[in-house]
């Protein structure tokens, strides 16, 4: 079971998609992801996560991955948009759910 962690410095595009519908918090400052908002992430070809996705998981354009937004963000899925000079992922906002509760101890 693989989970690729994404952080906000890799965020490159924010847009709106009419078919998506979610309001899960993804920003470190607590600002919610707007309904219908679309997030894309660019991982450079030197990024170990990009190498893991293409070489070990053998994922290609159109494939889906499990992702989590770091730190303490939601879990969900992303679709691979491109594998040219790195990996470009588009977050599927319809799959987002809060992270599991952590034990208090």
Per-residue pLDDT of the chain (105 residues; tens, 9 = 90+): 688 888 754 444 333 344 443 334 444 444 556 555 678 899 999 999 999 999 999 999 999 999 988 877 888 999 999 999 999 999 998 888 888 887 887
Q: Which domains does the chain have, with CATH numbers?
A: 4-28+40-97 (2.40.240)
pLDDT score at 48 = 93
* Residue 96 burial class via C-beta count within 10 angstroms: exposed 0-12, middle 13-18, buried 19 and up: buried
Under a CB-based contact definition with an 8 Å cutoff, are residues 89 and 44 in contact? no
Q: pTM for the full model?
A: 0.71
């Amino acid at each position: 079971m693989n989970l690729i962690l994404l952080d906000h410095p890799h965020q490159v595009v924010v847009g709106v998609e009419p078919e998506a519908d979610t309001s899960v918090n993804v920003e470190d400052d607590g600002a919610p992801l707007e309904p219908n908002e679309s997030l894309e992430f660019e991982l450079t070809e030197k990024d170990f996560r990009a190498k893991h996705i293409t070489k070990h998981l053998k994922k290609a354009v159109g494939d889906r991955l499990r992702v989590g937004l770091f730190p303490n963000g939601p879990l969900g899925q992303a679709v691979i948009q491109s594998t040219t000079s790195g990996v470009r992922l588009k977050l599927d906002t319809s799959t987002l759910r809060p992270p599991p509760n952590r034990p208090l101890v």
